[in-house]
Amino acid sequence: MKPTTLKRSNAPIFWALFGAGGMLSALLGPMLVFITGIAVPLGVVLPPDTMSYPHMLAFAKNFIGKGFIFAIIALFLWHAAHRIFHSLHDIGIHAGTGAKLLCYGTAMVGTLIAAYALLAIGF
Amino acid sequence: MNKRRPYVRSMDGWWKKNPFFVEYMIHEATALFVAAYAGILLFGLLRLSQGEAAWNEWLMALKNPWYIGFHLLALVAISYHTYTWFKIMPRTMPPVIVGGQRLSAWAITGSGLAVAAAASAALLGLVWGMAR
C-alpha cells in the first residue's frame, strides 16, 4: 500500500482535547466549583460582590478573561464528551457513529455557543 | 435451516466484581460532573451576554439548595478526578529520565498534586484580589 492511501486517524485531535480538558479540570476544577458554586452563592470566604454583573462583565470583556472562560467551558466539555463516549462500551452500549456524533456534537455545540456569547458580550 | 444461537455470557455489572474496575468506573463517572458543571457555566455565560437582569437571575438560582447540593457533590467528584488524573499520570505519559534514572511514579503523582494545590491557591488568591 502506498503511504498516501493511508487514512489519517482523527483520534489524536479528540485525545488532545480530552487531555487538555482533563489537565485543566484537574488543576482548577475543584477550586472553580468551590468559588462559583459554593463560596459566592453562600456568601462565604469571598466578598459578596465577587461575581456581580459589573465584575463579571468586565472579566468577560477582558481579552485574558475571555480566553479563560472559553478554555474552561470548551475544554471541560470536550474532556467529558470523550470520556463518556469511551465509557459507553464499558456499560454495555456498543457505541457507533450515532453515539460519537451525540457526544462530540454536544461538545461542539457548547463550544460554538460559548464563542457566540463571548463575541456578543464584546470587547 | 436452523439459526445458530451460540451462548453469549452476559457482561452486566462486570466491573462490580473487581475493586480495581469499581474504582475505574468511579473515576470515569467524574466526567458526568465535569460535563454538568461546564453546562452550568455555559448557561451562566449565555445569561451574562443577555444583560444584568438575566445574569442576576442566574446568580440567584445558584443559591437554590439543589444547586448547592450539586456543587458539593461536584466538588467531591472533581477533586477525586484531580487525584486519579495525577495517580494514573505515570502510566499515561512517556517515561521521564532524570540523571539516568526513571522518575518514580510517586514523584510524578506527588508533583502533579502539588502543582494542582498551588494552582488552586493562586486562583483563589487572584479572584479574592480582583474582587476586593
The reply to whether A7 falls in a domain is no
Here the ipTM equals: 0.91
> Using the beta-carbon criterion (under 8 Å), do B34 and A38 form an inter-chain contact?
no
Contact B78, B30 (CB under 8 A): yes
Which domain does A32 fall in, by range? 15-121
The Cα of B129 is separated from the nearest Cα of chain A by a number of Å equal to: 10
Domain layout of chain B by residue ranges: 13-87, 93-132
Which residue pairs from A22-25 have beta carbons closer than 8 angstroms and sit at least 24 positions apart in sequence? A22/A79, A22/A83, A22/B81, A22/B85, A23/B85, A24/A71, A24/A72, A24/A75, A24/A76, A24/A79, A25/A75, A25/A76, A25/A79, A25/B34, A25/B78, A25/B81, A25/B82
Residue B52 has pLDDT above 90, yes or no: yes
User: Which candidate from A27, A29, A87 shows the least CB-CB separation from B34?
Assistant: A29
Could you tell me which chain B residue has the CA closest to the CA of A123?
B49
* Average pLDDT of span B86-109: 88
Residue B1 has pLDDT above 80, yes or no: no
Q: How confident is the model at residue B93 (pLDDT cuts 50, 70, 90)?
A: confident
- What confidence score (pLDDT) does residue B40 get? 97
Contact B128, A46 (CB under 8 A): yes
State the CATH class of domain B13-87: mainly alpha
Find which of A23, A79, A83 to mutate to test the B interface (most B CBs within 10 Å of its CB): A83
> Using the beta-carbon criterion (under 8 Å), do A42 and B63 form an inter-chain contact?
yes
CATH of the domain at A100: 1.20.1300.10
Top-confidence residue, B99 or A85: A85
Could you tell me which chain B residue has the CA closest to the CA of A116?
B46
- What confidence score (pLDDT) does residue A4 get? 60
Top-confidence residue, A90 or A68: A68
Set of cell numbers at residue B115? 502543582
